[in-house]
Amino acid sequence: MGFRSWISVALQLTMATALLVGCSQPAATPDSAASSGANGVTLKMVESITSPQRTALLKEMLAQFEAKNPGIKVDLISPPFEGADQKITQMLMAKEELDVLEVREFNAKQFSMNGFIENLKPYTDKWQNYDQLTDVAKRRATWVDKTPYYIPNGLYQRVLYYRTDWFNEAGIEVPKTWDELLVAAKKLTDPAKNRYGYSFRGGATGWDYAMITMWAYNGTEVDPDSAFFMKDGRTIFSTPQSLEAMQYYKQLYKEASPKDSVSWGFQEMVQGFVAGSTAMLIQDPDVIDGAKEKMQEGTWATAPIPIGPSGVAQQVVGGPGWGMTSYSKHKEEAWKLIEFLSEPEQSTHFAKKTSTIPVVKSAAEDEFYKTGYFQPFIEMSQQPTKFLDVSRPVDYKGWGAWQSTADKDIQSFLLDQFTAEDLLKKWDQYWTKEKAERK
């Protein structure tokens, strides 16, 4: 080959390499960074429930960790909230360099089944603060196969938000049961004033609200470990109580909620409440901050979620947390980081700042949680026989497919294209089949 050909070959190769390097994920960099410096390790960490404030808080905490542990650096990845879990799943599937990740209760099973995340038992056995976790937090941690796959960083539990001024004006008490809630909601509904009793959720994952109602109607007969089934093995959708619950649910939508709430998601239902169009809202504690900002002090308050005719109220307490990848090359350091973030002091600080329920027992004594808007959460956790924590059957193969059609089914039902009987029959058949196939 002549000189010119050699030059051209060299140029082509350079270009091709540059192209490939430029387009590949930056996964290669931490490795080189990790090997540089005396026993320096760079951990890669990814969070799921991202927001600018939360990311800033986390970075602050990571800086503290780095100061305490010279030689360990942490690179935080914060994908946009919408699609963060998909991004994390893709990173795991591609075995991208990653050591610590935020696991959600709904993907924990999937991650553990596919061998993406590490069993933390060897670490928690030696960890003195493990017993500091509240019962609910421990249940979330060991949700999959009774094995700790992650350490929760905050709990998402729902309470009732209500407009104290409207309630006072109408001379009514805060509802304690679903029946009382409907009565109050109807009384406060006045479409002419653009006022409605209840911030209904018919849009994305609205099925969860239908489930809460059905659980409250079926009471303690519901199997808490797999709450789409009764303790006797039937599906929850086969009971007369569920039929009653769904009829109630439709009444709540038709008689006390805005018509377009059939497609309301999180944003709309919260906006409906804080902007003064709805009187009641059932939501997680992270709404408190937004409500504080937008609503006048004294016009709203929080209360425990209503109970059903059975005398109890169930819900799935959400608890995301920190887990470790099974293929991490720096497991000891990764655990150090998880341990640091889960120390009672750090984790209470994190929960306070992110407006979630803390995972450690000591927080119940904290003034911040004992009074004000957070008080109902403590009140509820002190009555564990009345306010029950249950689990969804996310460990079933058909969970995903059910979830993708559940909202649509409920919307069809609310819009009278489907009867309550048809809806429940469809779900009953689906879950009966799922259960049979699983055995």
Partner 1 sequence: MDTQKPIVTMTKQVVPEGKKSFRISKEGRFIFLCLLPAILFVSVFTYYPLVRGIIMSFQNYTLFDLMNIQFIGLDNFVIVLTSPDFPRVAMNSFYWVFFSLVFQLLFGFMLALLMRKKFRGRGIYQAFIFFPWAMSGFLIGLIWRWMFNAQFGVINDLLLKTGLIEAPISFLADGAWAMAAVIIANIWYGVAFFAIMILAALQSIPEELYEAAAMDGAGRIQQFWRVTLPYIMPTMLVTILLRVIWILNFPDIIYAMTNGAPAGSTHIFATYMIDKVIFGQDYGQASAVGVIIVLILMLFTIFYVKATKVEKGGDF
Task: Return residues touching partner 1 (CB under 8 A).
Answer: 1, 5, 8-9, 12, 15-16, 19-20, 23, 83, 86, 89, 93, 110, 113-115, 191, 194, 202-204, 258-263, 268, 271-272, 275, 277, 397, 399-401, 403-404, 407-409, 411-412, 415, 417
Q: Which lies closer to partner 1 via its Cβ, residue 299 or residue 417?
A: 417
Task: Give the Cα separation of 227 and 229 in Å (integer).
Answer: 5
Nearest distance from C-beta of residue 9 to partner 1, angstroms = 6
The CB-of-403 to partner 1 minimum distance in angstroms stands at 5
Beta strands in 361-401 (DSSP E): 387-389
B/e letters for 178-199, b = 16+ CB within 10 Å, e = fewer, are beebbebbebbbeeeeebbbbb
Minimal distance, residue 79 CB to partner 1, in Å: 14
If the CB atoms of residues 133 and 394 are measured against partner 1, the closer one turns out to be 394
Query: Measured from the CB of residue 13, what is the shortest distance to partner 1 in angstroms?
Result: 8
CB 132 within 8 A of CB 361: yes
Instruction: Provide the 8-state DSSP code for 392.
Output: -
Between CA 99 and CA 341 the distance in angstroms is 14
Buried-state track 14-37, b at ≥16 Cβ within 10 A, e below 16: eeeeeeeeeeeeeeeebeeebeee
Give residue 227's Cα distance to chain centre.
17
Nearest distance in Å: CB 409, partner 1: 8
Q: CB nearer to partner 1: give 389 or 395.
A: 395
Nearer to partner 1, 4 or 39 (CB): 4
Return the number of the residue (145 or 260) whose C-beta is nearest partner 1.
260
Q: Which is nearer to partner 1, 63 or 204 (CB)?
A: 204
The least distance separating partner 1 from the CB of residue 4, rounded to whole angstroms, comes to 9
DSSP letter at 320?
-
Q: What are phi and psi of 54, to 5 degrees?
A: -65, -40
What is the bridge-based pairing of β-strands 300-303 and 321-324?
A: unpaired
User: What distance separates the 2 farthest-apart alpha carbons in the chain?
Assistant: 96
